[in-house]
Structures are given as structure tokens and as C-alpha cells.
Amino acid sequence: MILLPVILRRLVVRIDIQREIEPFVNVPVSVIISGLLTLLAYVVAEAFQPEPSAKSTMGRNTLPVAIALFLIGFFMMINRRKALTQVLALLSLENGLFLAAISLTYGMPLIVELGIFFDLLVAGMILAILVFRIRETFDSMDVSRLSRLRG
């Protein structure tokens, strides 16, 4: 769990990415939208809540939090301009899906969890390589500049 953030941090330092100054939606509006998405997640998750049982080890809020994490990750992907922050949003979205799967199935076998961990580790390394190559080739990580490529 510590290896992926270390890889991403080294990538940020290596390609000299500064803080993202201009997201599409400013920070206060983003916080309000994220709060509304969380409220929407609680409303939607009410229909999918499994019946409480003695086997249930997850809390009642696990599924709504998973859906909120998914929705906020999706919003972050839309709201950010830099490819690296979009990758982090994609990882947040994926974590929401994983948490939803765990909360609905009451856990996963160890071999499945190890497979998912290895998949995330490989995906993180591949994304780090791709982001570094994009930075080398185009001198920018701003995806809004890609609109000039239209013919």
C-alpha cells in the first residue's frame, strides 16, 4: 500500500510537476459538488443495502461511502486538466469500486485480493512510465492542450 504513492511521488519530482492551478471548476464549487455527490450516494445506496445479518462485518455506511468515492473520483477525472491528477482520480474511482465489491460480498478470498494488489502495482508502474513519456514528448501534462490536435 505504500509502494504506489512512493512511485507516484517520485514521478512528480522526476518530471517536475507543479501544483495544478486551474481545474475546470474552482475549489469551493468542487467541495459543494462533492458534498452533493455524497448525498446522492447515500440516497442511491439505500435501495441496494443488503439485509443486516449476523455474518455482516461491514458497517451500514460502507456501500454509500463506496459509491461516493466512485462518484467523486469520476468528478475529479472530469475536473482536472493534468494527466497525473486524472490518474489519481482513476485510482480513487477504482478504490470505490473495490470497496463496493467488498461491502456487497462480505469480503473476498485472499488470492483475489493478492491478484488485485498485483494488478494495481503493475498498473501504477505502467501509468508512471506513460506519464513520464507523455511529459518528455509533449513538454506538458495539460490535457486541455490536446484540443489543438483536431484536424
Task: Say what the pTM is.
Answer: 0.63
Based on its alpha-carbon atoms, the radius of gyration of the chain, rounded to whole angstroms, reads 18
Q: Residue 121 has which C-alpha cell?
A: 502495482
Closest CA to 83 of 33, 147, 31, 128: 128
Given a contact cutoff of 8 angstroms between Cβ atoms, the answer to whether 124 and 8 are in contact is yes
45-84 pLDDT, tens digit per residue, is 888 776 665 455 566 788 899 999 999 998 988 888 777 7
CA 82 to chain centre: 14
Instruction: Enter the DSSP assignment of 25.
Output: S
Number of domains forming the structure of the chain: 1
Give the domain range for residue 100: 3-149
pLDDT value at position 22?
66
Given a contact cutoff of 8 angstroms between Cβ atoms, the answer to whether 40 and 74 are in contact is no
